[in-house]
């Protein structure tokens, strides 16, 4: 009879909460801890969103649900900051007609400054809340409450809140879900900009603490903004491509053989045999092109068993993948991909300005710049720029990460753009399926795209002729038996095609000028982290 047990628990909670209120508390029905919401009723009550609490609602009585971000008692008053996602509003419980002294005390969190819970601590949950205890210590921060209040205009703007023109004068306050009293991290610390040296003693939160307690870290206005913007990137990517006539495909992640050779692949136990996790959807995108889908895209996880512990590598990330048949020249595809990126950048500027501003308060950064049409440099031009800047490189060398970054700065200086295409990479540094340049045997029809000097996309015209593909694979020393299915895909008529894969977390990181891809992966996976 778990429903009953739960109700009993809830009643016990309530009794504890009600212990302080004396019989003579004239407000005793106006506050408390409510029973667990198990869908007992369908009350006819509208909950107003915090962001909609503006001067237009002045003097209206409203119900609002939010988290207690802070509470501060001051004589016969208690000031709460009520938070809902990126928005917050001040609420005032003051002794008067609606609120009693006991009600103000209930709203105030009276325990002293909370310490973060260390991992060895016993969870205080049971003692404090669920088992009978001598007193209720007030509403812990991060608890969820329902408040009935009157919207009142304030004479001076309220600095700490997004809703600066009004406050809520509380008439009723009920706890919907009580947080444990000690938080593993403080939200105010988690949104504090890191300032070198200065303002020591003002706490910030390190990355592992954030990631270990991601549910709380994701509640900060910065995290809310980052991931809402990321959702927007996916939406703009798809909107643009669907408008261009692309079809969305779903490609399998469990594969029977590692098509690109076999290094850096995770192995899966598959019933009585073994399988692998796909390092990219490329083979399947290409099969769809050979199957006449003409222009395809997919969004999905990509797995890399690389033991790389850098600011920009994850073992699982989200790939935004494109593949497209073209008529005569792979630049038809390059242009479509570049335009898709431009549409994303424009859409973010137009629809996510609030989120961009929010993030920049914690992580200040120059606005992202781009050109239209996108700047396309050829590899030799980049080489010349780097050499002029003192970098020593051979004609067929790949760019190192520092060279990429330097090149980004040089391009920014010269062309004033944070986004550009680098075309015509040396054939020697690209995978076997890359189409050689017909006019220069050392060059290939391949390209990378960069944001703020870091690679976000790698792509190429693919070899669509089985004979040439075989030759190229042999040249790379690849076991033909392992890629037979791949090569066979092109035997029954294949259109010329090109494509590329974009790393979603990198695009989010670089657009916002953040410094670590773990900030833009909700639940990042790297060689050392598999949780939460």
Residues in 82-121 at the binding interface with its own copies, rule: CB under 8 A: 84-85
Q: Is the CB of 361 or the CB of 484 nearer to its own copies?
A: 484
Query: Residue 445 interacts with its own copies (CB under 8 A)?
Result: yes
Q: Is the CB of 27 or the CB of 179 nearer to its own copies?
A: 179
Which one of the listed residues 67, 506, 518, 521 is annotated catalytic? 506
d(CA 298, CA 290): 16
318-328 burial, b if ≥16 CB within 10 A, otherwise e? Answer: bbbbbbbbbee
Which of 37, 195, 203, 389 is in the footprint of its own copies by CB under 8 A? 37
**Residue labelled with tokens 């950048």:** 345
* Whether residue 200 lies in the annotated active site: no
* Whether residue 396 lies in the annotated active site: no
Residues in 232-271 at the binding interface with its own copies, rule: CB under 8 A: 234-235, 238, 242, 247-256, 266-271
Which of 27, 64, 216, 359 is in the footprint of its own copies by CB under 8 A? 216
Q: Please give the structure tokens belonging to residue 160.
A: 């700490």
Task: Choose one: 154-162, 314-322, 362-370, 385-393; the region binding its own copies (CB under 8 A).
Answer: 314-322
* Whether residue 306 lies in the annotated active site: yes
* Whether residue 313 lies in the annotated active site: yes
Q: What secondary structure does DSSP assign to 405-432, as a single string?
A: HHHHHHHHHHH--SEEEEE--BGGGS-T
CB of 21 to its own copies, least distance (A): 22
d(CA 259, CA 485): 9
Query: Residue 438 interacts with its own copies (CB under 8 A)?
Result: yes
Q: Is the CB of 3 or the CB of 75 nearer to its own copies?
A: 3
- For residues 261 and 478, the answer to whether their CB atoms sit within 8 Å is yes
CA distances 91 to 49, 110, 149, 347, 408, Å, are 14, 17, 8, 35, 48
Residues in 150-189 at the binding interface with its own copies, rule: CB under 8 A: 176-180, 183
Which one of the listed residues 455, 462, 489, 518 is annotated catalytic? 455
Q: What secondary structure does DSSP assign to 324-367, as a single string?
A: EE-SS-THHHHHHHHHHHHHHHHHHHHH-HHHHHHHHHHS--PP
Query: Residue 309 interacts with its own copies (CB under 8 A)?
Result: no
Phi, psi values for residue 389, rounded to 5°: -85, 5
Length of the chain: 532
Residue 250: closest CA among 288, 208, 205: 288
d(CA 220, CA 213): 12
* Whether residue 506 lies in the annotated active site: yes
Which of 161, 427, 451, 457 is in the footprint of its own copies by CB under 8 A? 427
Which one of the listed residues 180, 239, 306, 332 is annotated catalytic? 306
Task: Choose one: 197-205, 224-232, 367-375, 388-396; the region binding its own copies (CB under 8 A).
Answer: 224-232
Q: Please give the structure tokens belonging to residue 156.
A: 């001076």
Q: Is the CB of 393 or the CB of 522 nearer to its own copies?
A: 522
Task: Choose one: 51-59, 153-161, 315-323, 410-418; the region binding its own copies (CB under 8 A).
Answer: 315-323
Q: Is the CB of 415 or the CB of 523 nearer to its own copies?
A: 523
Query: Residue 467 interacts with its own copies (CB under 8 A)?
Result: yes
Query: Residue 52 interacts with its own copies (CB under 8 A)?
Result: no
As to burial, measured by CB atoms within 10 angstroms (0-12 exposed, 13-18 middle, 19+ buried), residue 9 is middle
Beta bridge partners of 434: 462
Query: Residue 531 interacts with its own copies (CB under 8 A)?
Result: yes
Query: Residue 342 interacts with its own copies (CB under 8 A)?
Result: no
Q: Is the CB of 101 or the CB of 476 nearer to its own copies?
A: 476
């Amino acid at each position: 009879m778990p429903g009953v047990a739960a109700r009993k628990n809830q009643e016990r909670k309530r009794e504890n909460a009600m212990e302080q209120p004396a019989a003579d508390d004239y407000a005793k029905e106006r506050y408390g801890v409510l029973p667990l919401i198990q869908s007992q009723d369908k009350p006819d009550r509208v909950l107003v969103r915090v962001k909609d609490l503006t001067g237009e609602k002045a003097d209206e009585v409203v119900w609002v649900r939010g988290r207690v971000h802070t509470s501060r008692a001051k004589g016969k008053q208690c000031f709460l900051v009520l938070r809902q996602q990126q928005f917050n509003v001040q609420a005032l419980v003051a002794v008067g007609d609606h609120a009693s002294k006991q009600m103000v005390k209930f709203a105030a969190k009276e325990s002293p400054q909370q310490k973060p819970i260390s991992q060895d601590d016993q969870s205080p949950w049971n003692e404090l809340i669920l088992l009978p205890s001598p007193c209720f210590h007030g509403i812990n921060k991060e608890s969820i409450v329902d408040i009935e209040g009157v919207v009142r205009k304030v004479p001076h703007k309220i600095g700490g809140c997004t809703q600066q023109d009004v406050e809520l004068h509380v008439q009723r306050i009920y706890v919907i879900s009580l947080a444990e009293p000690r938080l593993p991290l403080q939200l105010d610390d988690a949104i504090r900009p890191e300032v070198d040296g200065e303002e020591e003693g003002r706490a910030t939160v390190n990355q592992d603490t954030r990631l270990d307690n991601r549910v709380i870290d994701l509640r900060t206005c910065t995290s809310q903004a980052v991931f809402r913007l990321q959702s927007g990137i996916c939406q703009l990517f798809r909107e643009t491509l669907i408008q261009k006539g692309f079809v969305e495909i779903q490609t399998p992640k469990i594969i029977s053989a590692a098509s690109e050779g076999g290094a850096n692949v995770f192995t899966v136990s598959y019933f009585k045999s073994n399988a692998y996790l796909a390092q990219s959807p490329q083979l399947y995108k290409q099969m769809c092109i050979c199957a006449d889908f003409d222009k395809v895209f997919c969004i999905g996880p990509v797995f890399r068993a690389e033991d790389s512990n850098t600011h920009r590598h994850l073992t699982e990330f989200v790939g935004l993948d494109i593949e497209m048949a073209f008529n005569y020249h792979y630049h038809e595809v390059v242009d479509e991909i570049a335009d898709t990126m431009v549409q994303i950048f424009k859409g973010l500027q137009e629809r996510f300005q609030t989120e961009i501003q929010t993030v920049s308060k914690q992580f200040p950064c120059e606005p992202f710049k781009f050109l239209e049409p996108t700047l396309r440099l050829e590899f030799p031009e980049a080489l010349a720029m780097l050499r002029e800047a003192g970098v020593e490189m051979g004609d067929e060398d790949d760019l190192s990460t520092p060279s990429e970054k330097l090149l980004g700065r040089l391009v920014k200086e010269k062309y004033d753009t944070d986004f550009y295409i680098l075309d015509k990479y040396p054939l020697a540094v690209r995978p076997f399926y890359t189409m050689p340049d017909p006019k220069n045997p050392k060059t290939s029809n391949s390209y990378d795209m960069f944001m703020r000097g870091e690679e976000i996309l790698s792509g190429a015209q693919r070899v669509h002729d089985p004979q040439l593909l075989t030759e190229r694979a042999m040249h790379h020393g690849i076991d033909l038996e392992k890629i037979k299915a791949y090569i066979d895909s092109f035997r029954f008529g294949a259109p010329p095609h090109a494509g590329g894969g974009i790393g979603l977390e990198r695009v989010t990181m670089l657009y916002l000028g953040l410094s670590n891809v773990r900030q833009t992966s909700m639940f990042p996976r790297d060689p050392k982290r598999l949780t939460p």
